Amino acid sequence: MNNTIKFYVDLKNSGKRIDIFLAENISHLTRSFLKKLIANKNVKLNDIVLNSPSTKIKFKDKVAINIINKSVTDIIPKKIKLDIIFEDRDILVLNKPKGMVVHPGAGNQENTLVNALLYKYKKNLSNINGTLRPGIVHRIDKETSGLLVVAKNNLAHASLGDQFSNHNIKRKYLCLSWGVVRPLNGKISTLITRDKKNRQLMTVSDINGKKAVTNYKTIKVFSIKDIPKISLIECELETGRTHQIRVHLKYKGNFLLGDKKYGKKNIRFKKINNEFLFKLNKLTGQALHAKTLGFSHPSTKKWMNFDSDLPEGFKKILDLLENLSG
């Protein structure tokens, strides 16, 4: 299926390279992917096919980009076990495991949540969010575990979408962070945009980006011999930007255990508790779990609140820290 997106260049963007302009305005596409679209003649400037990503755009230029999407019939349903904790005719709430991608994308066409949903529910899912994302109202990162709500019909999807837009959804995450966040409790409110140096990452910006608000509370600081200080933190989201918690903690000078994207890739310790190091090395991805999810039911309007257990790797590290701290 072809999806054409059109833009008209304003004064602020006049003089920019077209690949940079498109990357800033279509946040889910990387600059390298956009260059491929240009090379494959999928971008037009003032109705003329473009062949150079370095072309400069001018005020009032018309830019059209043709994105070729797979249709829902191209996505292969796959029998994958789902941890469903609630279900009725309108919605289902599930606990997404660490390592599962929510919907198909570049490099992830199979083994996603959408593949599993299509196998189990076929066409009994909302389609408001496009053919690649049936039922998907919101998402969490691949290496983040936890609760997601899925819409089975468009009325349910619209109701949940409004609640997300109006910040009426309650979303609380638990995470383990290196160091101590100062102050211990607070609110982080910034703009978040895609990192210009690495389009796979997000970053805080003073000028451009979308508003992102995270309320956080330090539950406990672990100060243990031969282990750097580690904090157990609860984060409640007011907004849901890509990588929001990870970006905001980095902004504060901290990063999550196991986070290889926003943290240090190789952490060297002068002296370290061997049992802790063993469990740390077993951790795949960041220690971040979407633990609590609350919303008003689309049909009954009754408030619903769900809670989920921590994944095994996260729990083992937390239990060890609790035991060692006495």
Residue 1 is predicted with a pLDDT of 44
- The reported pTM is 0.78
Higher pLDDT, 150 or 111: 150
CA pair distance 146, 308, nearest whole angstrom: 7
CA pair distance 137, 139, nearest whole angstrom: 7
Residue 123 is predicted with a pLDDT of 84
What is the DSSP code (8-state) at residue 257? T
Q: What is the mean pLDDT of residues 17-38?
A: 80
Average pLDDT, the chain: 91
Active site residues: 141
CA pair distance 97, 113, nearest whole angstrom: 10
Label residue 2 exposed, middle or buried (CB < 10 Å: 0-12, 13-18, 19+): exposed
Domains of the chain, first to last = 2-68 (3.10.290.10), 72-165 (3.30.2350.10), 170-324 (3.30.2350.10)
Whether residue 54 contacts residue 19, with contact meaning beta carbons closer than 8 Å, is answered with: yes
Q: For 166-219, how does the pLDDT look when each residue is reduced to its tens digit (9 = 90+)?
A: 899 999 999 999 999 999 999 999 999 999 888 889 999 999 899 999 999 999
H or E segment to which residue 275 belongs: helix 274-282
Q: For 280-318, how does the pLDDT look when each residue is reduced to its tens digit (9 = 90+)?
A: 988 889 999 999 999 999 999 999 999 999 999 999 999
Whether residue 43 contacts residue 22, with contact meaning beta carbons closer than 8 Å, is answered with: yes
Whether residue 293 contacts residue 171, with contact meaning beta carbons closer than 8 Å, is answered with: yes
Best CA proximity match to 29, nearest among 277, 261, 199, 171: 199
Handedness of CA 153, 159, 161, 164 (dihedral sign): negative
Of 1-5, 93-97, 179-183, 269-273, the one with minimum mean pLDDT is 1-5
Q: How many CB atoms lie within 10 A of CB 75?
A: 21
CA angle 113, 309, 257 (to 5 degrees): 85
Q: For 130-158, how does the pLDDT look when each residue is reduced to its tens digit (9 = 90+)?
A: 777 899 999 999 999 999 999 999 999 99
Residue 196 is predicted with a pLDDT of 87
CA pair distance 227, 277, nearest whole angstrom: 9
Tokens encoding 8: 């008209």
**Residue 288 phi/psi, 5° resolution?**
-145, 125
Q: Is the peptide bond before 53 cis (omega within 30 degrees of 0)?
A: no
Long-range contacts of 42-48 (CB under 8 A, 24+ apart): 42/66, 42/67, 42/68, 43/18, 45/18
**Residue 110 phi/psi, 5° resolution?**
-125, 170
CA angle 242, 261, 292 (to 5 degrees): 45
